[in-house]
Chains A and B, each alone.
Chain A
Amino acid sequence: MKNLLKVFRNSMFFLCMLFLFNGCSTNENNKNKTEVVTEKPLHAVDTVYIKQMQFNPAVLNVKIGDTILWINNDLVTHDVTSDKPNSFYSDTLHVGQSWKMPVKDSAGYHCSIHPTMLGKLVLK
C-alpha cells in the first residue's frame, strides 16, 4: 500500500513538472511572436504638437496609412482643418485635448480659428 502511494505521488509530481515546463515554453513562443510584430511596424504614429501658435513640426513626411496625432499644448483653443474643402477636419481642440487621423494623401492644413497657423503632410 505504501509503495502504491509513493508511485502515485511521484507520478503526480512528474505530471506537474511536465505541465509547468510546457506552459513556460508556450509563453516563450508567444513572446517571440510579439517581438516580431513590434520590430516591423506597418504604419507609424507621428505627433504634431500645437504650441505657441504653431504646428510643430509644421511639415511632416508621412506614408499612407500612418496615423497623425495632434496635441493642443497651447494657451487657447485650436482645430485642424484641411486646406481642401470637404476633406478632413477635427472638432475644436481645447487646451490639453488631442485628435488623430490616418493619412490618406498629402495635404495642407490650417487652424480655422487662427488662419495664419499652417501645416503640411508630405508623402515620402
Chain B
Amino acid sequence: MKIFKFLTKTAICFAVSTGFLSLSADAQKTTKLTDPEIASVAVTANQIDIGYAKIAEKKSKNADILKFAETMAKDHQSVIDQAVALVTKLGVTPKTNATTKSFLAGAAKTKAMLNSKKGNAFNKAYIDNEVAYHKAAINEVENVLIPDATNGELKSLLQSALPLFKEHLAHAEMVQKEFSK
C-alpha cells in the first residue's frame, strides 16, 4: 500500500515537473518573454487548470473535490476573460512560445495520468496535482511573468492574480489533508 502511495506521488510529481522543469530550461535558453508571449502563457496556464477541473467534474463523486473543481473552473475562466479583455484593449495578440508548448506537453501527460485513475485514487491524484500545479504556477508568475512584463496594465493584472493563485493553493492543501489520512 505504501509503495502504491509512493508510486502515485512520484507519478504526479513527474507529470507536473515535466511541464515546469522543461519550462525553466527553456526560459534559461531564451531571453526575456515578450508581452504577447506572457499573455499566451497566462491564458494557457489558466486553461490547463480548467481542463483538470473538467476531468474532476466527470470522474469524482466527492463533494469537496467537486466544489474545489467548480471554483477552479470559474475563477480561472474569470482570469482568462480579464486577460483577453486587456490584450484586446492593448491590441496585443498572444503569441505561442516554448513556454506555452512546455505547459501543454506537461498538461497532456497529467491528463492521461488523471484519466487512468478511479474513485479515491483519482481524488487523491487530482488534489495532489492541484497543489503541485499551483505551487509551480505561483513560482512562474512571481519569478518570470511579472518581472518580464513591460506593459504596466499587464503587470498589474498578473500581480492581482497572484493572491488568487495563493488562495487556490491554500484551499487545495486544505482539501488534500482529507486524502492524506
Contacts and interface: CB of A to CB of B under 8 A. Distances in A.
Contacts of A101: none
Interface string A80-102: 00000000000000010000000
Contact of A76 (B164, B166, B170, B171): B164
Given A52-B160, A75-B161, A114 B167 contact: yes
Interface residues of A, number: 13
Q: Which of A76, A77, A95, A117 has the most CB of B within 10 A?
A: A76
Contacts, number: 35
A53 B78 contact: no
B174 A115 contact: yes
A58 to B, nearest CB: 14
Contacts of B78: 75-77, 95
A117 B166 CA distance: 11
B164 A75 contact: yes
A28 B71 CA distance: 57
B58 to A, nearest CB: 21
Interface of B: 71, 74-75, 78-79, 82, 160-161, 163-164, 166-167, 170-171, 174
Interface of A: 52-54, 74-77, 95, 113-117
